[in-house]
Amino acid sequence: MAPSLIEKVNTLINASMHGMVDRALQQNSVAVMDEYIRQAEKNLEALEDSAATVGGTVRTLKRKYDEFAAAAEKLDRDIDTLILKGKNDLAAAAQAELNTKQQLAQDYYEQWQQQDQQYNAMLDMRMKLEARLTSIRQEREQLRSLIELAAAKQVATKTIKSLDDLAKVGDQEISSFAEQVRNRLDTEDARLDMATQNLRDQIDDAVRGGEIDRQLEERRRRLLGAQGGSQQAAE
């Protein structure tokens, strides 16, 4: 995914809903929220296209890894057979080919893991942006009703600059409405904070898990190699 798209999506996800509502109140219009909705829809579509491309790459890299890993496994068995038959020259050539295939398999594995992490991060960003967009749409309708209510009751909306100001106009219905909007915005901000932390934890776990898998694979190869040497010595 292009860095510019990442930056745009993160900006949209982290946009302050409180600030957006306050600007709308200052302007006595929901135009600022309409602009956010247009930008979010545009970047959401671009994010989905990019995610589909990266998802395809993930599938390709996994397939390549599986192919080379399977070929390396078969070649490893063939080398044992060649050694037992005393065909050392062929075994040496096969061993060189095995080393190449194992390296390629490892390269594809690492690329696959990296791209898979990016793909999952993009899916998470899409989910959060969709949730943010849904919340903004809902708050837009609530705020529009609030502005119309204030205007109908002849409140001097041109002097109102925030939800706090609106909550102090002295009208119980308007104040209650403003407080409900503010509470929903606080809840939405808290949800975004938790989702962002969960994404960081998932990425860290995936990176650590990949490293452990590689370490175990190296240990497995070493143990199998040692076992094979012991059997040959016994013979």
pLDDT digits (tens, 9 = 90+) for 125-148: 899 899 889 888 888 888 887 777
Per-residue pLDDT of 71-86, as tens digits, reads: 999 988 988 888 888 8
pLDDT of residue 136: 87
Per the confidence metrics, is the pTM higher than 0.75? no
pLDDT exceeds 90 at position 149:
no
Instruction: Give the least confident one: 14-18, 28-32, 36-40, 148-152.
Output: 148-152
pLDDT at 5: 83
Amino acid found at 167: A
Distances (CA, A) of 36 to 53, 75, 114: 26, 57, 32
* Unique residue bearing structure tokens 């949730």: 131
What's the rounded Cα separation, in Å, for the pair 20 and 50?
A: 28
Comparison of pLDDT for 190 and 53, the residue scoring more: 53
